[in-house]
Every structure is written in structure tokens, then in C-alpha cells.
């Protein structure tokens, strides 16, 4: 968990996202390492789910493709083993509750520890349902990343008190995917969180342009998901330079603000 | 419920943080109005004077005689306004939505019955309605799509995933996360995050509340068995609810086996499913060993769902209810049988329950009695059954 703090705190950090196994196992491993080499400070590894209900079309299509290729949870673990040969960048899983529940919470967290995956995000496990999982996550020293939204309101202090790793502020309503227009309302939430905790705060959902990367100057990090998946969708065989340029541009925007 | 939101270990609220405030708002409203006398009076008035309640308990004399065993009674939810039990739940939820100041109703639909009921309530209350329906279902239930549009609703054909009911549920939840302030998600079955399973049961319990006293009045005693088809489980939980404490009444849910429980083309969640967490609830699901939700199949769009309401799993686990599969072929045979014997065209969903009654009634004594919950009428299915039988008709 400390690796996450070190990677993000006061760093104008950039968090990338990739769907494990997309477009295929080999390329996926390579592109994740490329993202780390391009300067991503932390990478979220999506484990594909049949019904990714918090995700927009880009990530949904990638998930579907990966599952059609026959990818299993064990293949994702194999992918992490490959990646870990080339990079120490902090990693967190992003997936839905069911694949983790089915694998077994304890077995899954123990696996995360042995693979050196520092944390996990499960968008369909809200505060009300986290206790059992968080208890085990703590035993294994894995971070459970809390989500805060513009709607969280008076739930915020309680969410923050259960947070570890970093806090994920959801910038807007709806589902993942690039937005043409993005408001900077989330900055207010970031400020409120910072009054309550030292845990790094990241803003994500819909960020895909240079100007949008500059919007959330109060956050320790921005998270970009769909835009990176889109690059891989458009350049499945040779995404390296596109990913690298994009990440460097977005990091440049971050550094230009502070 | 054993602990708030849970039936044994099943239930809960597995939804994104983005939706929790909305879910809590619905919970508060439900808690407030479910015991509110004015609310209950208004709902009863709608039930009696708009939805045509109480629905009759009909003694199926011809069927009983022909099958030669237990006496068969049909709880005629098919005679409700809009033609199915779905209206009970929709009127209740729409009334809550109205009290909450919501102006837009959204809903998923499989067979289209729940969508039609929601469109109807929206028209009655002067609200907006948008209905999400798997593209495949819009094709096999084309008539209901037009009915919804006629009632002023906007129908979205869902093209993601397997393009059936589960995908319609995903799409409706997604829509809700985009627009929470003025929108109420009218969930159509006893599934999803708390409070939906409990709220749907509350409104559907009118079925067994009426049936229980109708049985006592007509026959002087309770039925020996209550049969209901199970998709998500709303008509079944409504038909079971007021009999749960009567241990002498056997409760039987009938799920869709599709082409058979030993094939891939099935929706028999209880026979073949395993524990999982999906669509906001911990329950039982048809899924891979990796926790990927399986595509499911049934001739019936309303039973074509990979999960089941959490309370049903609990009732099964404590041995209070049992769940049995019925195939497409058996359901279609029952669809034709009840039409010819009783002059009733029953929904293909309900025909699954009729099929099981046909199996067990002959083995029971003549002084025993079975209630079959006839959850809906079959007009919507006539064209699809004709196709299934290879009959070429022009719709
Ligand atoms: C007539 C009828 N019966 C049963 C069902 C199944 O739903 P549930 O299990 O929630 O009653 C449907 C669903 O569309 C229906 O239209």
C-alpha cells in the first residue's frame, strides 16, 4: 500500500488503465509495460467481466473480446507474472465483485499478494457490503480503493475513513467513456477529502484530452481508462508509440498546472 | 428478512457508489409509505378500480376432471388490467415514485409485460417512461413494443451482451446512473439490490393475500400446493408470501429448462446455478467457474434470466419451497392444453406452472387442491407459439 502512496502523493501523477488480455495476451503484457515506461505512475488492470455495468461501450467491447478469446482469471494472473519481469510500477486490479467472489475472497487476495498487486477496485461493492472483504484485504496488506462521487454527500466521511491506497473520485454521472465536456466540480470533493485524510486522491471518468487533464489540479492523480483502451482498439498491432505519446502529453498537462 | 436487506446470506446492495444515494432514497420512501394509511388507501383504490382487483380464484373443473387427481384452481392474474401480475408491483412503485416527486420512470422488460405495465402507470400518472428491452426480445415480443409506444413510452432496444433480459437490466441501471434526480427505476421482479426484492414482494403479496381468503371461502381450507412460474420470482413470491407460515401448503416454483437442464440452452437457475453476486444481489446464478454470467435460453422471454430473487434461494435452502424445471416443449403443450380444456390462453411463462400441475395433479388425491398462479394472459405469445409450431401466420 505504501508503494501506492509513494507513487501518487504530490506527484501530479497519471494512472493508466488496461483490460488484461486485450487485444491479446502478448500485446496486452507489452502495452502495460509500455505504459509504465511512458511514465504511468500506477496502472489499473481490468479483469474482464461478462456484464460490466459501470462501463461504457469502449471498455465493454474490450471485455467482450477478451472473454471471446477464452481468457480466464488464471490467465490474468499469468499476465501479471509476465509484466512483473519488466516493471515494478504499482498495480491495482479493477473488476466486478462476482469474478472475485467466485474465486474466493481470501484466495484472490492471497494471489494478489504473491503477484505484487497492491490493491483492488470493485465498483459494485459499496460501503454497505465491504466489511468482509476489507477485513481479509487488510490481513494481506492489499488496498481497497474507495470510490467517491459527486452524489456521495454525507457518505463521504465514512467512505474516507474506510479508504486505503488512494481514493477514486468519479468526475461525473454515468458510466466510463470519453466525455466531450467535463466539469471541474470534482475539485471541490477533492478538497473536502484532503481535509479528512492524507491518502492520495485521484480523479477519473471521462478524461481524454490535454485540457481535461489540466482540470483537476487539486488531485494527486488523474485516471485515464477508456481513452487508452481506445488507442489499443485503433492500433491493436502497434500501439506503443501512440500510448507513449498520449501518456507523455497528459503528464505534460498535469505538470503544466502545478 | 433475517438482517436488513438479507434473506439468510442472500440479498444485499451490490451497486456502484454512484447509485447508493438513489437506492437509499428509495429505501427511505418505501419504509415510510408501506405502513402509511393514505398511501395504502390510494393503492387499494388503484388496485380495485383501475387494475380490476381482486383477481378471481377460478375452479378449473374441466382440467381437474381430465387430469383425474387433485382439484385445480387458477389465480387469474391474467385478468388484471394490462394482462399480468406485473401491474400490482408497478402501481405500487409508481405511487412511491410520485410521492418522491419523480417525474420519469425507467424499467427493464423481458416479455414486455412489465414494460407495458410501467408505460401504463406513467400514462395514468402523467409521467415520462423509458423502457429498456433486449433487441432479441423486441423481435419475439414485437406487439408489446408497439403497445408500449402506443402508451407514450420510449422503447430502447438493447444491443449489448446477449440482447435479452439481463442486458436490459444492465442498461436500465446504466441509464439510472446518468440521470438520478428526476428518475425512478421501477424494477420488474423480486431481484436487484435491497429494497427492490422486499418492495416487489410487498406489492405482489396481494396475490396470496386474496388467494388465501378465497380458498377459505370457496373450499373451507387452504390449498395443498401453490405453483408459480419463476423468472426473477415476483409472481411466485407474491403467490407464496401469505402461505409461507402455513407449513401444510407446499410451495413450488417452476423455472424454465429451455431445451432441457442437460443442454446449454436453459434458464434453470435453481437446478444448475451457483452462488454469486450480480445485479445488486447475492443470489444464485447461471455462470462459469470464473464468475462470468452465462447466456441463457427459454422460449419464454419473461423467464429467460440467469438469476433469481434472493428470497427464493433462501426459501429453498430452509426447505420451505422447492423449484422444478419445465422445458419449452412441456410449456407449449400446456399452453395448448389449457386453451383447449378451459378456454384460457395463458402466458407462456404461466404455462410452465400449468405444465407442472399437469404432472403432479394425476398423482394426487381428489380431495387435494392445487393453486396455479396464472401470472398473465397469452395473447402476446400467440404469434411466437405459432412460429414454434411451424405455422405460418401473418401478424
Ligand atoms: C406473465 C408473466 N409471468 C411471469 C413472468 C416472470 O417474472 P416473475 O418471475 O418476476 O414473475 C413474467 C415476466 O415477464 C410474465 O410476463
* Residue whose C-alpha is closest to residue A98's, from B311, B296, B273: B273
Could you tell me the pTM of the whole model? 0.96
Using most ligand atoms within 8 A of CB, pick from B55, B83, B85, B308 the residue to mutate for ligand 1.
B85
- Mean pLDDT on A66-95: 98
What is the rounded distance in angstroms from the CA atom of residue A148 to the CA atom of residue B178?
Answer: 16
Domain boundary among B184, B200, B216: B200
Q: Judge contact between B343 and B40, C-beta under 8 A.
A: no
Residue with cell 411463462: B349
| Mean pLDDT, rounded, for A82-109 | 98
pLDDT at B395: 53
Domain edge (last residue) among B146, B175, B200 = B200
Distance CA B75, CA B77 (A): 6
Pocket test for ligand 1, best of B269, B347, B350, B352 (most atoms within 8 A of CB): B347
Instruction: Please check the confidence at residue A107 and state whether its pLDDT lies above 60.
Output: yes
pLDDT at B394: 67
Q: Which tens digit of pLDDT belongs to each residue from A141-171? A: 999 999 999 999 999 999 999 999 999 999 9
Query: Per-residue pLDDT for A210 more than 60?
Result: yes
Over residues A29-45, the mean pLDDT reads: 98
**B14 lies in some domain:** no
Q: What's the CA gap between B316 and A2, in Å, rounded?
A: 46
Other Cβ atoms closer than 10 A to B37: 7
C-alpha A211/C-alpha B54 separation (Å) is 61
Given the DSSP bridges, would you call strands B154-158 and B183-185 parallel, antiparallel or unpaired? unpaired
To the query of whether residue A44 is one of the catalytic residues in this protein, the response is: yes
CB distance B302 to ligand 1 below 6 Å: yes
Same domain (yes/no): B210, B73: yes
B166 CB neighbours in chain A (<8 A) are 51
Q: What is the CATH number of the domain that holds B360?
A: 3.40.50.1100
What are the tens digits of pLDDT across the range B15-62?
A: 999 999 999 999 999 999 999 999 999 999 999 999 999 999 999 999
B174 contacts on A by Cβ (under 8 Å): 53-54, 174-175
A112: cell is 494478489
- Please provide residue B84's backbone torsions phi and psi, each rounded to the nearest 5 degrees: -160, 170
B393 in any annotated domain: no
Q: Clarify whether residues B211 and B191 are in a common domain.
A: no
pLDDT band of A18, cuts 50, 70, 90: very high
Residues B383 and B255 in one domain: yes
Q: What is the mean pLDDT of residues B134-154?
A: 93
- Counting Cα atoms < 13 Å in the Cβ hemisphere of B134 gives 21
User: With bands split at pLDDT 50, 70 and 90, how would you rate the model's confidence at A1?
Assistant: low
- pLDDT for position B143: 87
Cell 419473461 appears where? B302
Residues A192, A201: Cα–Cα separation, whole Å: 11
Q: How many CB atoms lie within 10 A of CB A161?
A: 11
The whole-number average pLDDT for the span B89-111 is 97
Q: Are B323 and B254 in contact (CB under 8 A)?
A: yes
Mean predicted lDDT score pLDDT of chain B: 96
Residue B179 and residue A175 in contact, taking contact as beta carbons nearer than 8 Å: no
Cα–Cα distance, B117 to B115 (Å, whole number): 5
Cβ atoms of A72 and B290 within 8 Å: the answer is yes
How does residue A258 score in pLDDT terms, banded at 50, 70 and 90? low
CB B381 within 8 Å of CB B347:
yes
Q: Is the peptide bond before A217 cis (omega within 30 degrees of 0)?
A: no
Residue with cell 428491452: B133
Which pLDDT belongs to residue B303? 95
Average pLDDT, chain A: 95
Residues in chain A, total: 258
| Other beta carbons less than 10 A from residue B167's beta carbon | 25
Q: How close is the nearest chain B Cα to the Cα of A257, in Å?
A: 28
For chain A, the domains span 2-256
C-alpha cell at A141: 496488506
* Cβ B112 under 6 angstroms from ligand 1: no
Q: Is the pLDDT of residue A181 over 70?
A: yes
Q: Is residue B3 part of a domain?
A: no
Which of B108, B290, B296, B305 should be substituted to probe chain A, the one whose Cβ sees the most A Cβ atoms within 10 Å? B290
Three-state SS at A50: coil
pLDDT-derived band at B349 (thresholds 50, 70, 90) equals very high
Same domain for B59 and B42, yes or no, is: no
> Which of the four pLDDT bands, split at 50, 70 and 90, describes residue B229?
very high
Minimal CA–CA distance to A189: which of A216, A222, A224? Answer: A216
DSSP code, position A142: -
Please report whether residue B10 resides in a domain. Answer: no
pLDDT of B250 strictly over 90: yes
**Cα gap A181→A222, rounded to integer Å:** 16
- Higher-pLDDT residue of A137 and A213 is A137
The reply to whether B351 and B301 lie within a common domain is: yes
Do both B103 and B244 map to the same domain? no
Residue B141's pLDDT is what?
86
Residue that finishes a domain, picked among B200, B229, B262? B200
Give the Cα-Cα-Cα angle B11, B16, B17 (nearest 5 degrees): 110
The stretch B101-130 carries a mean pLDDT of: 97
Query: Quick one: B58 and B98 in the same domain?
Result: no
Is B349 a domain residue? yes
- On whether both B196 and B59 belong to a single domain, the answer is no
The whole domain housing B315 covers: 53-83+205-388
What is the rounded average pLDDT of the residues B138-159? Answer: 94
SS (H, E, C) chain B: CCECCEECCEEEEECCCCCHHHHHHHHHHHHHHCCCHHHHHHHHHHHHHCCCCCCCEEECHHHHHHHCCCEEEEEEHHHCHHHECHHHHHHHHHHHHHHCCCCEEEEEECCCHHHHHHHHHHHHHCCEEEEEEEHHHHHHCHHHHHHHHHCCCEEEEECCCCCCHHHHHHHHHHHHHHCCCCEEECCCCCCCCCCHHHHHHHHHCHHHHHHHHHHHHHHCCCCCEEEEECCCCHHHHHHHHHHCCCCCCEEEEEEEEECCCCCCCCCCHHHHCEEEEECEEEEEECECCCCCECCCCCCCCCCCCCCCCHHHHHHHHCCCEEEEEEEHHHHHHHHHHHHHHHCCCECHHHHHHHHHHHHHHHHCCCCCEEEEEECEECHHHHHHHHHHCCCCCCC
Domain match, B110 and B184 both:
yes
Res. A174 pLDDT band, cuts 50 70 90: confident
Mean pLDDT calculated for residue range B161-175: 93
Q: Which atom of ligand 1 is nearest to the CA of B301?
A: 14
> In the numeric block, which cell numbers belong to residue B371?
393453486
- Report how far residue A13's alpha carbon sits from residue B236's, in angstroms, rounded to the nearest whole number: 53
B115 and B256 share one domain: no
**Is B198 known to be catalytic?**
no
Residues B28, B58, single domain; the answer is no
Task: Kindly state which CATH superfamily the domain A2-256 is placed in.
Answer: Aldolase class I (3.20.20.70)
- Split into its structural domains, chain B has a count of 2
Strand partners, B184: B105
Contact B303, B229 (CB under 8 A): yes
* A38, pLDDT greater than 80: yes
- Predicted local confidence at residue B49, as pLDDT: 98
* Range name among A122-126, A233-237, B196-200, B391-395 with the lowest pLDDT average: B391-395
* Cβ partners under 8 Å of residue A243, min gap 6: A31, A34, A35, A38, A228, A231, A232
Sign of CA dihedral B120, B123, B129, B135: positive
Catalytic residue among B55, B64, B86, B198: B86
Same domain, B214 and B104: no
Q: What's the ipTM? A: 0.95
Q: Alpha helices of chain A — where are they, by DSSP H? A: 2-8, 25-37, 57-68, 73-84, 97-103, 105-115, 131-139, 156-161, 186-196, 210-215, 226-234, 240-257
Cell of B100: 418522491
Residue A257 has pLDDT above 70, yes or no: no
B18, B173, B293: residue with CB nearest A50: B293
Size of the A and B interface in Cβ pairs below 8 Å: 107
> Cis (ω within 30 of 0) for the bond into A23?
yes
Amino acid at each position: 500500500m505504501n508503494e501506492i502512496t509513494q507513487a501518487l502523493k504530490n506527484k501530479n501523477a497519471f494512472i493508466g488503465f488496461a483490460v488484461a488480455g486485450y487485444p491479446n495476451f502478448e500485446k496486452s503484457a507489452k502495452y502495460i509495460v509500455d505504459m509504465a515506461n511512458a511514465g504511468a505512475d500506477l496502472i489499473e488492470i481490468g479483469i474482464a467481466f461478462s456484464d460490466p455495468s459501470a462501463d461504457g461501450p469502449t471498455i465493454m467491447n474490450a471485455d467482450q473480446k477478451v472473454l471471446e478469446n477464452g481468457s480466464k482469471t488464471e490467465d490474468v494472473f499469468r499476465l501479471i507474472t509476465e509484466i512483473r519481469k519488466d516493471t515494478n510500477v504499482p498495480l491495482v486490479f479493477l473488476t466486478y465483485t462476482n469474478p472475485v467472489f467466485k474465486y474466493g475472497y481470501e484466495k484472490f487476495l492471497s494471489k494478489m499478494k504473491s503477484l505484487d498487486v497492491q490493491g483492488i477496485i470493485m465498483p459494485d461493492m459499496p460501503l454497505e457490503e465491504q466489511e468482509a472483504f476489507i477485513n481479509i484485504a487488510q490481513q494481506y496488506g492489499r488496498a481497497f480503493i474507495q470510490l467517491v462521487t459527486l452524489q456521495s454527500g454525507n457518505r463521504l466521511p465514512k467512505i474516507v475513513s474506510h479508504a486505503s491506497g488512494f481514493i477514486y473520485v468519479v468526475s461525473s454521472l454515468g458510466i466510463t467513456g470519453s466525455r466531450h465536456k467535463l466539469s471541474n466540480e470534482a475539485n471541490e470533493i477533492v478538497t473536502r477529502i484532503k481535509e479528512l485524510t492524507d491518502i492520495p486522491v485521484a480523479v477519473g471518468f471521462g478524461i481524454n484530452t490535454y485540457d481535461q487533464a489540466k482540470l483537476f489540479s487539486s488531485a494527486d492523480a488523474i485516471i485515464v481508462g477508456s481513452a487508452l483502451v481506445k488507442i489499443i482498439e485503433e492500433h491493436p498491432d502497434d500501439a506503443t508509440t501512440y500510448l507513449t505519446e498520449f501518456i507523455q502529453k497528459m503528464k505534460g498537462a498535469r505538470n503544466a498546472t502545478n | 428478512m433475517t438482517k436488513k436487506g438479507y434473506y439468510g446470506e442472500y440479498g444485499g446492495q451490490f451497486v456502484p457508489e454512484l447509485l447508493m444515494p438513489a437506492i437509499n432514497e428509495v429505501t427511505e420512501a418505501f419504509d415510510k409509505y408501506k405502513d402509511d394509511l393514505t398511501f395504502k388507501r390510494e393503492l387499494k383504490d388503484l388496485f380495485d378500480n383501475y387494475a380490476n382487483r381482486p383477481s378471481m380464484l377460478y375452479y378449473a373443473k374441466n382440467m381437474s376432471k381430465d387430469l383425474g387427481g387433485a382439484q385445480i384452481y387458477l389465480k387469474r392474474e391474467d385478468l388484471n388490467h394490462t394482462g399480468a401480475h406485473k401491474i400490482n408491483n408497478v402501481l405500487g412503485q409508481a405511487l412511491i415514485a410520485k410521492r418522491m416527486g419523480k417525474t420519469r420512470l425507467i424499467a427493464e422488460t423481458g416479455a414486455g409485460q412489465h414494460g407495458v405495465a410501467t408505460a401504463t402507470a406513467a400514462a395514468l400518472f402523467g409521467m415520462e417512461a423509458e423502457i429498456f428491452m433486449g433487441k432479441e426480445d423486441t423481435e419475439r415480443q414485437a406487439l408489446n413494443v408497439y403497445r408500449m409506444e402506443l402508451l407514450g413510452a420510449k422503447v430502447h432496444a438493447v444491443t449489448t451482451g446477449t440482447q435479452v433480459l439481463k442486458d436490459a437490466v444492465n442498461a436500465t441501471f446504466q441509464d439510472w446512473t446518468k440521470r438520478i434526480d428526476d428518475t425512478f427505476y421501477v424494477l420488474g421482479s423480486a431481484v436487484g439490490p435491497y429494497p427492490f426484492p422486499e418492495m416487489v414482494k410487498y406489492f405482489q403479496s396481494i396475490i396470496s393475500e386474496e388467494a388465501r381468503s378465497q380458498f377459505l371461502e370457496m373450499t373451507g381450507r387452504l390449498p395443498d400446493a401453490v405453483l408459480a412460474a419463476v423468472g426473477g420470482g415476483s409472481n411466485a413470491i407474491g403467490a407464496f408470501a401469505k402461505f409461507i407460515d402455513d407449513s401444510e401448503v407446499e410451495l413450488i416454483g417452476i423455472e424454465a429448462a429451455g431445451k432441457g437442464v442437460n443442454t446449454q440452452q436453459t434458464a434453470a437457475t435453481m437446478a444448475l446455478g451457483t452462488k454469486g453476486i450480480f445485479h445488486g444481489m447475492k443470489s444464485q446464478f447461471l455462470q462459469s467457474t470464473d464468475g462470468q454470467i452465462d447466456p441463457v435460453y427459454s422460449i419464454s422471454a419473461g423467464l429467460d434470466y440467469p438469476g433469481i430473487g434472493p428470497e427464493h434461494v433462501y426459501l429453498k435452502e430452509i426447505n420451505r419451497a422447492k423449484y422444478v424445471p419445465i422445458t419449452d416443449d412441456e410449456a407449449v403443450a400446456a399452453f395448448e392444453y389449457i386453451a383447449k380444456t378451459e378456454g384460457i390462453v395463458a402466458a407462456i411463462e404461466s404455462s410452465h406452472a400449468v405444465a407442472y400441475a399437469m404432472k403432479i395433479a394425476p398423482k394426487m388425491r381428489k380431495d387435494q387442491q392445487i393453486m396455479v398462479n396464472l401470472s398473465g394472459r397469452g395473447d402476446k405469445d400467440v404469434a411466437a407459439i405459432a412460429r414454434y409450431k411451424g405455422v405460418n401466420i401473418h401478424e
